[in-house]
Structures are given as structure tokens and as C-alpha cells.
Amino acid sequence: MTVGAVPIRAEQSAAPRVHLVAGTAGLVLWSVFLAVEGRGLAAGWLGNPVVLTAVHLAALAWATTVAMGAAYQLLPVALGAPAPLTSLGYLSFACFYPGSWLLAGGFWSGLPQLLALGGALITVGVYVFAAAVLTGVAGVRRWTPSAAFLTAAVVYLAGAVTWGLTMALDLNFGFWPLQLSRDLGFHLLLALGGWFTLLIIGVSYTLLPMFFLSDRAAGRTAWSVFALLNVGLIGLAVAIWLGSPAARVAAVAVVWLGLVLWLWDLQAILGRRRRRGRDVPLRHAVAGALAMTLAVTWALGMLAGLLPAGGREVLAAGYLFLVGGVSSTIMGHLYRVAPFLIWVSRYAPRVGRGPVPLVRQLLREGWQEPAFWAFGLGVVGALAGLVSAAAGLLAAGLILQAVGAVLFGGNILAAFAPRRG
């Protein structure tokens, strides 16, 4: 019973853990794929099967899968709302995750039928996920910035997969007057700008104060960030539709302002944390936030004609955003969320009845530093290789990044593995 509030009941379901395990495996496999096939990145980005396969594996089989799992478990904490229907988690996963691999297989093989099938499964999975989340959102007691960010992010995600499916079906049936720059622009805007950016910012406003014990709560600044990002993204959609370069620059500048304001708020939150030190999860979160903002700054410079905007530069900026920004941030949060979920599901029932490990003992702390440095230096090396067209540097960077991902993934997956005792 809850007094003076809507009762909240936390469900214990394996669905979040299934997502986190599968998503972490997705990170490892995607990184190894890129290390093996990375030389193909030199062929440019438009229509390049290596780029299309790698981007969709990273965005779907890794980042979105993990984000969905975390959302099923943490939405009641983030939203102050009843738990989403976690039973739907199995259904959304059963559609979304295989669909992600089929879609990637479609890009790799060039088979449009696989693209359509994968895209359809992904879309069904996302709609089920959105229905589960929005059911929880309907019970929100008080709208916080995190609740607004996460709700908007899910709406953008549904839009991104719908748009992607439309393009995939068009390859099969040719019903849509496809304009590549316009339609790809919408897809990227919805996925990278809407889904990942709002998700990461919304999650940062909940998880960082919670795990790093900061007494600065998300407030007026967070609402300003929310408004700037959404105005900028909607403005960018209009600018793409109108084909107006000037409006595009103005809209991206508004998004950039929102990100800079978020960075300022983030340093204020972390500056008032009671858990001092700069551990690996914190460094991942900070590096990810800086990389996302730097990538958008770069994009702004290219759109405004201040920086070279060739295929290599566009690919490098996208890589910085998705790998250096989104992936690094999710890795940092996973270092906190995964052991927490494992501890709650596996060890909480034993508290008071026998010895239980500390949450920090569930991960191999000694693996975190090498994983962080390998991944981070790998991203820097691959970026430098992309921009300078240095094939050796690019290959070395991607291999180093894969080493970091394998160390990270091995650590997380080992924690999830069943243990005796």
C-alpha cells in the first residue's frame, strides 16, 4: 500500500536481464565485425554495406536492445509510475532482436527481402515496447524532466523504425517517391537526434544523481534542455522537408545549444556528488556526453560550410556520435545497472538469511580500466584513420575498440552467468 500516491509495484521479470545479455553480446559481435571488415569503411558511407550493417547492429542489436531492457526495469524509478507491462518485454524482444540481425544480414547480403522482414519485426518489437512504456507513462504521478525525455525518446524511436521500414519496403515494392537525402535525413534525425539523444539525457538526469549521490535534482535547466532539443529537432525536420540549408544550420544550432546546456547541467550535478573520485562508469558517462556534443558541433560546422563535409568527414562525425558518444555512455551506465539488477534478482532474496556479496564484487574491477582505455583509444584511432584516410590507423583503432568491447562484454556477461552458492 502506498499512502498519498498511486501504488507502485515493481515486477520481477527476467525480460530486462535477457535484453541486457543479448545487447551486450550484440556489442561484442558488432565490434568484432567492424574490426574484421573495417577496411570497407574507406569506400564511403552512402550505400556501403559495411557501414549500413555496422550502424544498424550498433544502433539496434546493441544500444537499443540494452536501452529497452533497462527501461523495462528502471522506468518505475525514473518516472515514478507503475512498472510497464514487463510481460510484453518477452514479445518485444522476440520480435526486435532477431529482426535487428535479419536487417543487418539484409544490408550485408543486399537482399531487400531480408531488409523488409527484419524491418517489419523491428517495427513490431518497437511498437510493443512503446505500448508497454506508454502504459507506464499513463500512470505518472508528477512529470519530471526524465519522464518527459524518456516519453519523447520512445515516440521518436517509433518514428525512426516506421520511417526505416518505409524505406525498406520501398526497395521491395517501389511505392514511395524516395529522395535519399531527405528520407535518410528524417531517419537519422529521428534515430540519433530523437531516440538516442533524448534517451541518454533523460537517463542521465535519473541515474547519475542516484548512483553518484548528487543532491542536485533535474530542474528548470533540464526543462530548458528538453525544449531546445525538441524545438531544434522539429525545426530540422521542417528544414529537411523544405530543403533549406540556412534553416538546417539554424535548427542544428538550437540542438547544439541544448547539448551545451545539458553539459553545463551535468557538470553541476556531478560537481555536487557525494561519491567522489572518477571511476570508470563516471568517465564513460563524461566521455560519452563530450563526444556527442563534439559530434554535433562538427556537424554544425559542416552544415555551415566552415568545415570540410566530404563522405569521410560525415562518416567520422557519425562514428563519433554513435560509438564515442552513445556506446560509451551506455557502457558506463551498464556498469551500474547490470550488477544492480543481478544483485536484486539473485541476492536480495537471500539477505537476512545468509551471506550475500557486495554489488561491486559482481564485476571484475580489474578489467574496467583496460576496457575503458582500449575502447576509448580505439575510437580516437579509428576517427583519426577515417579523417586522414590512413587505412592502417583505422584498422588498428577498430581492433583496439573491439578489444575494449570484448573486455567490457566479457565482464558484464560473466556477471550474468549462473553461479553456484
Which of 127, 223, 340, 367 lies at the binding interface for another protein (CB under 8 A)? Answer: 340
How many binding residues for another protein (CB under 8 A)?
31
Q: Does 14 bind another protein (CB under 8 A)?
A: no
> Which of positions 255-294 make contact with another protein (CB under 8 A)?
274-275
Binding residues for another protein restricted to 41-80, rule: CB under 8 A? 76-77, 80
Confirm or reject binding of residue 6 to another protein (CB under 8 A).
no
Q: Which of 14, 46, 351, 391 binds another protein (CB under 8 A)?
A: 351
- Please identify, among the stretches 90-98, 191-199, 206-214, 365-373, the one whose residues bind another protein according to the rule CB under 8 A: 206-214
Cell numbers at residue 23, please?
545487447
Q: Could you tell me the three cell numbers for 172? A: 521491395
At 378, is the secondary structure helix, strand, or coil? helix
CB of 232 to another protein, least distance (A): 30
| Interacting span for another protein (CB under 8 A) from 7-15, 30-38, 289-297, 370-378 | 7-15
State the Rg of the chain over Cα: 21
The C-alpha atoms of residue 100 and residue 119 are separated, in whole angstroms, by: 8
Tell me the C-alpha to C-alpha distance, in Å, between residue 320 and each of 3, 103, 271, 383, 384.
47, 23, 26, 7, 11
DSSP output for 233-276: HHHHHHHHHHT-HHHHHHHHHHHHHHHHHHHHHHHHHHHTBSS-
Q: In angstroms, give the least distance from the CB of 3 to another protein.
A: 5
Q: Which of 220, 276, 278, 353 is the binder for another protein (CB under 8 A)?
A: 353
CB of 345 to another protein, least distance (A): 9
* Shortest Å, Cβ 347 to another protein: 8
Binder to another protein among 171, 356, 380, 413 (CB under 8 A)?
A: 356
- The 10 Å CB-count burial string (b at 16+, else e) for 281-306 is bbbbbbbbbebbbbbbbbbbbbbbee
The residue range among 114-122, 160-168, 349-357, 398-406 that interacts with another protein, by the rule CB under 8 A, is: 349-357
Q: Is 1 in the site for another protein (CB under 8 A)?
A: yes
Considering the rule CB under 8 A, would residue 220 count as an interface residue with another protein? no
Q: Are 65 and 409 in contact (CB under 8 A)?
A: no
DSSP code of residue 84: P
Residue 48 CB, nearest distance to another protein (Å)? 43
Q: Which residues pair with 273 in a beta bridge?
A: 214
